[in-house]
Amino acid sequence: METLNSLKNHLLIAMPSLEGDFFGGSITYLCEHNAEGAMGLVLNKPSDFSFAEICDQLNIARREHITPLIMTGGPVGPDQGFVLHQESGNWGATMHIDESAHLTSSRDILQAIAQGTGPQNYVLGLGYAGWSAGQLDQELRDNSWLTLEATPDLLFNLDHRDVYQVALSKLGVSAEFLSSEAGHA
């Protein structure tokens, strides 16, 4: 059951107050947000693991030229892999978030990506960001995050190094004007 103000299919843009924290400078895509909590994937923090290493560990044959970047999807379950993808496909374990955003955690999508037959637009992540019931809502009240409705362009068509600045610019904000001090009018 979704809460009335669900931020599912939105981006969380980390405010400066989160600097020094795992989420400092991050953009997190919310896959779920309801009364039970929230779950998302960080889109702009590259992992130390390569796609080749992941395929080797999972015994997945890979075409040499296929080397997508792996993101650190969050601090929870860092050994769990997720694929956020635009095209729905027919994969083993997929959560449909929006008509243009799906989250899959089954091996079959990795095999298809490794062979060049998977989705065209995707982000690979290890781990996820998770919040217990009410936790994210409190962080929002504490001004830890700005929010922005996600678009396929923001999710899939930008270099991970640019997504933070582009998301802020969609809100009419520049990073140099953000403050780590919270205020309420």
Over residues 116-139, the pLDDT tens digits come to 999 999 999 999 999 999 999 999
Is 142 contained in some domain? yes
Question: Across all residues in the chain, what is the average pLDDT?
Answer: 91
* Residue 56, SS3 per DSSP: helix
Is 43 contained in some domain? yes
Tell me how far apart the alpha carbons of residues 76 and 150 are, in angstroms, rounded to a whole number. Answer: 22
Of 64, 62, 65, 2, residue with least CA distance to 38 = 2
Tokens of 159: 């270099």
Is 137 contained in some domain? yes
Tell me how far apart the alpha carbons of residues 162 and 74 are, in angstroms, rounded to a whole number. Answer: 19
Alpha-helix residue ranges (DSSP H) falling in 66-162: 107-115, 135-141, 152-156
| pLDDT at residue 184 tops 50 | no
Is 37 contained in some domain? yes
Per-residue model confidence (pLDDT) at position 89: 86
The count of structural domains within the chain is 1
Is 167 contained in some domain? yes
CATH number for the domain that contains residue 44: 3.40.1740.10
Of 175, 167, 134, 138, residue with least CA distance to 28 = 167
Q: Hey, how many other C-beta atoms are within 10 angstroms of the C-beta on 47?
A: 18
Is 184 contained in some domain? no
Per-residue model confidence (pLDDT) at position 180: 55
> At 144, is the pLDDT very low, low, confident or very high (cuts 50, 70, 90)?
very high
Backbone torsion region of residue 116, taken as left when φ is above 0, otherwise alpha when ψ lies between -120 and 50, otherwise beta: left
pTM reported for the whole predicted model: 0.91
Tokens of 73: 């999807």
Per-residue model confidence (pLDDT) at position 3: 42
* 64-122 pLDDT, tens digit each: 999 999 999 999 999 999 999 999 888 989 999 999 999 999 999 999 999 999 999 99
Per the DSSP assignment, residues forming a β-bridge with 130 are: 39
Is 28 contained in some domain? yes
Is 42 contained in some domain? yes
Choice between 176 and 97, residue whose per-residue pLDDT is larger: 97
Tell me how far apart the alpha carbons of residues 120 and 28 are, in angstroms, rounded to a whole number. Answer: 21
Q: Which domain holds residue 34?
A: 10-177
